[in-house]
Structure 1
Amino acid sequence: MAEPQHILDCDVLIVGGGINGAGIARDAAGRGLSVVLCEKDDLASHTSSASTKLIHGGLRYLEYYEFHLVRKALIEREVLLRAAPHIMWPLRFVMPHAQGQRPALLIRAGLFLYDLLARRELLPASAGINLRNHVAGKPLKPEFERGFIYSDGWVDDARLVVLNAIDACEKGATILTQAVCTRLERKTADWEATLFKPSCGHIRVNARYVVNAAGPWTADVLHAAVPRADGGQLRLIKGSHIVVKRMFEHDNAYIFQHPDGRIVFAIPYERDFTLIGTTDLDYQGDANQVAIDEDEIAYLCQLASRYFAKPIVPADVVWTYSGVRPLVEDGADAKAVTRDYRLEVDDNGPPILSVFGGKITTFRKLAEEAVDHIARALDNRHGGWTHNACLPGGDLFGAEPRNKSVLEFDAWRRAQIARYSGLPSELVARYCRTYGTRIHTLLAERTDVASLGDEIAPGLYATEVEYLRRYEWARSAQDILWRRTKLGLHLPPAAADHLQSWLAAHPLAR
């Protein structure tokens, strides 16, 4: 191999650009540590964009007595909602009760415990409901007469990753996407890594500390760096989702219980659709090539059709996605494998911290704990700070997270629609939800449609594409249409090819 043209020195090298890697980069950079993050593909291109897109405590984990995990996640719900109210919001979940399920009193007791495990300032309590006269009962089969309703939250998972990376970058971190870590070697005083990024060749990184946050590839990275290490504690579970045309008009979600003990959510999605998922299957294949299979589609259709008056069949499915969750092996059935995380440090020389398991809701707490380990090892005296900090775009009413930003988001959005009155109101509304206060960077000095540049696809203008390339590391049509936005669901199939051609014809200015 030729001598690398680029050499970077840093305190912390993070391998993996999913939610855990981006969250750790943000926290570490905010404590004054120099950080390099490398991701072999795009940010959030694997597990972190393939979730059910919920900020939740995990009601079903109470069944497995994971009270500590549930409480930790419940506390984090409102911390995150306040930090990024543009990409997260409260959501009510309806649970129809059917014969043969757990007794209604037992379910009500579980929901009561769910309400009590953490303080709530933003989310209303659970309650029993009569589905015969509740709006959520209308789409269901008539035999479902009673049920329960409780609160959790919704999140745009891929954008959550990107916002963490933006914040890390603005605090000094170097974020390298499309950069594969091809070598990771422990030296006497530090780590020496080689990255390969097609646009600039080989990059050598000298780091005092390495964080292995490679998701499904965590065990592989650890074994390559420390051959004697045991990476067998990671268990890969495939989760798949289907998207169909909108099944109901109200804004509540559903949680359906299957006789085999599994649960499936049906969630309002992108205004015109319903998201249904997930499955839980052990996965042994290539984590780069994860896809739903026909049995999973049939399973999700069958379970949803057990509850909805209008049956769902595979032909109704307009989009699917699948991801592999890297969970901590605990010997349980796939649906019961713990979603808690484990941080393991090998400090037989320059240290490497590996992240095993985790879920989106607890990413901030995981990152804080990980950086506490790093800070101690590197004699950094700065404490955690993310508990009371907005993510980029979340500072609707000031720099600190506020309940007002969640409770009055609609009022803030109406104010932006009035401010940018020369643009279509639906477009400004989408920008508000996608970018929050960063809408003002996106639309700087742009007051009418003509100023937005080429309309590359319906509702997608050159101004937004250039913003995503310049500030959010978007490089391909896939990055833009499916991770930075979900416009891919709303556009004709040819739009992706047209956008890719436009990108090729308009190189990003350096």
Structure 2
Amino acid sequence: MYDLLIIGGGVNGCAIARDAAGRGLSVRLVEQNDLASGTSSASTKLIHGGLRYLELYEFRLVHEALAERELLLAAAPHVIWPLKFVLPYEKGLRPVWMLRVGLFLYDHLARRKRLEGSHMVSLKGNELGAPLRDAYSVGFTYADCWVDDSRLVVLNALDAKERGATISVGERLIDARRENGHWTAALDNGVRVEARVLVNAAGPWVSQVIDGALHLRSRKHVRLVKGSHLVTRRLYEGDHAYILQNPDGRIVFAIPYEQDFTLVGTTDVAFDGAPGQVDISASETDYLIAAINHFLRRPLNRDDIVWSYSGLRPLYDDGSLNASVVTRDYAFDLDAPEGAPPALSIFGGKITTSRRLAEHALDDLAAFLPPHGGAWTERGVFPGGDVAFDEFLAHLSAEKPFLGHALARRLARAYGTRAERFLKHARSMEDLGRDFGCGLTEAEVRYLVENEWARKAEDVLWRRSKLGLHLGEGQQAALRTFMAA
């Protein structure tokens, strides 16, 4: 008998599993595909307060997100790091005074210790303005954070497992019923699981789980919104990102990505179909290209696009007509008839607020659970994040000089101090086994299979890493053959 059965291996489900296991509760999480295989790996890769949300008067959400930004930066310095944003001033859109007020609020809605504040800057004669057309002479800078989104999900799951949780990947919930004061759930592999509390963190599938497997009804509904991104050849030099205002009121980001590329996104398109795999449309591609070409000197065309990805955001349906203004806040639906085991369904949420969402969920469920410890994740560190990144990179480079700077940096970014678990006894690259390309060795792949639930080459290439952008077709085929064996 588990205390909690969690459905869904995205960032919300894994964050709840981590928090609950750290409180001493028994936890089982089931994910039908791979960890972070849905919305959580299809984000814009930002830990941010959401500057645009201030226009929607979402002050509580922005405050919470800004506070979480500081906590997460300290807890996972290997997969989260500061990123400078440049906001060019566009005549005829938001006036200068409005931008100043918005950025002032962004600087002060929550305590800020690790990130610099906003500034008005000249865009002439420096690298910040060099990629922009001559029409843009002034702008603003501010700081948010970059995150390797799918790795953050895996780190939540890994921390949960090491605190006693059972993480089951490739298992789908078929049916769950209330029996004898607890939930009895049937999985597609024939396994039956009993739990005191059931948490539905299925993301885009949350309503399907409520209506189908759980046989419940909810007054709350999910609103699916498709967000698409382009990955292009690098569009400009420098480590800064751009936040670009569009005439429709939305914004588009251009962000340095994987050293050689630029990430462009995102769109907001209402989606009425069944949740599942989605792809970017021609109109979304045109929209993103037009947004970039409105600002940058060097035109972006389709030949520059090397990859695209899309995801479905499972937003809480607050009745908004426009998909771009639907709230990014989260909402809970607690079904707890007197004397019956409860089910908590989660709508919406952001990667940035996933830790706080988990804490909030467990606080709401405390009365239905055995005595357990209190909230702890505000001070917790994620696996591998127990040392400053620059300090660990210097240590790793000195201890393993055969890696070279580029590979040492990639491994330090992906695993932090956990990289030592598969590098510990190596004195040369040959000691790590076959190299599939870009320093992806047998030792690293085995570590991912044995410790991070990787089952297929795609899990390694696109979620545990983004090496799918760098490895050729032959190298990827070799990895598929190796992992299939």
For the aligned pair, the TM-score class normalised by the smaller chain equals: over 0.9
The TM-score with structure 1 as length reference comes to 0.93
Q: Alpha-carbon deviation of 1:91?
A: 0.7
Corresponding residue number in structure 1 for 2:13: 21
Q: CA deviation at 1:372?
A: 1.4
Separation of aligned partners in 2, 1:208 and 1:228: 17
2:354 aligned partner: 363
Q: Is 2:225–2:315's contact at 8 Å kept on the other side of the alignment? A: yes
Whether the 8 Å contact between 2:436 and 2:479 is mirrored in structure 1 is yes
Distance, in Å, in 1 between the alignment partners of 2:257 and 2:210 is: 37
- Aligned 8 A contact 1:423 1:447 in 2: no
Which residue of structure 1 aligns with residue 403 of structure 2? 423
Q: Do residues 392 (structure 1) and 383 (structure 2) align?
A: yes
Equivalent in the alignment of 1:215: 203
Matched residue SS, 1:143: coil
Instruction: Give the Cα–Cα distance (whole angstroms) in 2 for the partners of residues 151 and 236 of structure 1.
Output: 29
Contact kept, 8 Å, 2:48 with 2:66, in 1: the verdict is yes
Closer/same/farther in 2, CA of residues 192 and 262 from structure 1, 3 Å limit: same
Structure 1 residues 30 and 38: alpha-carbon distance in aligned structure 2, compared to 1, 3 A threshold: same
Which residue number corresponds to residue 124 of structure 1?
116
CA distance in 1, matches of 2:192, 2:24: 22
Q: Which amino acid aligns with 2:418?
A: R
Cα RMSD for the two superposed structures: 1.1
CA deviations 1:467-504 (Å, max 9, x no partner) are 00000000101000000011111111333222111112
Alignment match, 2:107: 115
Q: Distance in 2 between matches of 1:231 and 1:494?
A: 51
Cα deviation 1:84-109 (Å, max 9, x = unaligned) = 00000011110001111111121111
CA distance in 2, matches of 1:422, 1:486: 22
Mean Cα deviation higher: 317-326 or 278-287: 278-287
C-alpha deviations, 1:9-62, integer Å up to 9, x for none?
A: 211100000000000000000111100000000000010000000000000000
1:476 aligned to which of 453, 456, 459: 456
Q: Of 426, 430, 437, which residue of structure 2 is paired with 1:446?
A: 426
Kept in 2, the 8 Å contact 1:87–1:155? The answer is yes
Q: d(CA) in 1 for partners of 2:220 and 2:356?
A: 24
Task: Provide Cα deviations, 1:179-205, integer angstroms capped at 9, x if missing partner.
Answer: 011111111310000112xxxx32110
* Runs (5+) with no aligned partner, structure 2: none
- CA displacement at 1:381 relative to structure 2: 3.8
Structure 2 Cα separation of the partners of residues 474 and 29 of structure 1: 22
**Cα deviations across residues 352-404 of structure 1 (Å, max 9, x unaligned)?**
011111000000000001111222211424110000010000001xxxxxxxx
Change (3 A) 1:29 1:464: same
Amino acid paired to 2:345: S
Paired position in structure 2 for 1:462: 442
* CA shift digits 1:254-301 (9 cap, x unpaired): 000100101000001001100000000111123212111111111101
Q: Does 1:153 align with 2:142?
A: no
Q: How does 1:188-337 map to 2 (within 5 A)?
A: 188-196=180-188, 201-230=189-218, 233-332=221-320, 333-337=322-326
> Percent of aligned pairs with the same residue?
52
Structure-2 separation of matches of 1:164 and 1:380: 23
Q: Contact between 1:298 and 1:314, CA under 8 Å: does it hold in 2?
A: no
Local SS of the residue matching 1:350: coil
Instruction: Report Cα offsets for 1:96-139 as digits up to 9, x if no partner.
Output: 01111111121111101110101111000000000003311000
Q: Which residue pairs with 1:101 in the alignment?
A: 93
Cα distance between partner residues in 2 of 1:231 and 1:463: 49
Measure the CA separation in 1 of the matches of 2:21 and 2:116.
35
Within the candidate set 395, 414, 429, 2:394 is matched to 414
Work out whether residues 333 and 344 of structure 2, in 8 Å CA contact, stay in contact via their aligned partners in 1: yes
Looking at structure 2, the residues matched to 371 and 50 of structure 1 have their Cα atoms a distance apart, in angstroms, of 26
Letter aligned with residue 343 of structure 1: F
Correspondence for 1:503: 483
Cα distance in 2 for residues equivalent to 1:150 and 1:427: 30
* Structure 2 SS opposite 1:460: coil
Greater mean deviation of Cα atoms: 227-236 or 173-182: 227-236
How far apart in 2 are the matches of 1:229 and 1:54?
Answer: 34
What is residue 352 of structure 1 aligned with on the other side? Answer: 343
The CA deviation string for residues 48-80 of structure 1, in whole angstroms up to 9 with x for no partner, is: 000000000000000010000000000000100
Structure 1: 4+ residue segments shifted above 6 A? none
The 3-state SS of whatever aligns with 2:402 is coil
Output the CA distance in 1 between the equivalents of 2:218 and 2:82. Answer: 40
Q: How far apart in 2 are the matches of 1:372 and 1:230?
A: 21
- Identify the match of residue 34 of structure 1 among 26, 34, 38: 26
SS at match of 1:394: coil
Paired residues of 1:11 and 1:208 also in contact (CA < 8 A): yes
SS in 1 for 2:284: helix
The secondary structure found in structure 2 opposite 1:387 is: coil
Q: Is the 8 A contact 1:267 1:275 kept in 2?
A: yes
Which secondary structure does the structure 2 equivalent of 1:191 belong to? strand
Matched residue count: 482
SS in 2 for 1:57: coil
Unaligned runs of 5+ in 1: 1-8, 397-404, 506-510
Q: Is the 8 A contact 1:71 1:117 kept in 2?
A: yes
Question: Counterpart of 1:400?
Answer: none
2:231 counterpart letter in structure 1: V
**Paired amino acid for 1:203:** V
* Alignment check: 8 A CA contact 2:328 2:349 kept: yes
Mapped to 2, the partners of 1:476 and 1:80 lie a distance apart of: 29
**One-letter identity of the residue aligned with 1:84:** A
Question: For residues 494 and 295 of structure 1, what CA distance do their matches in structure 2 show?
Answer: 32
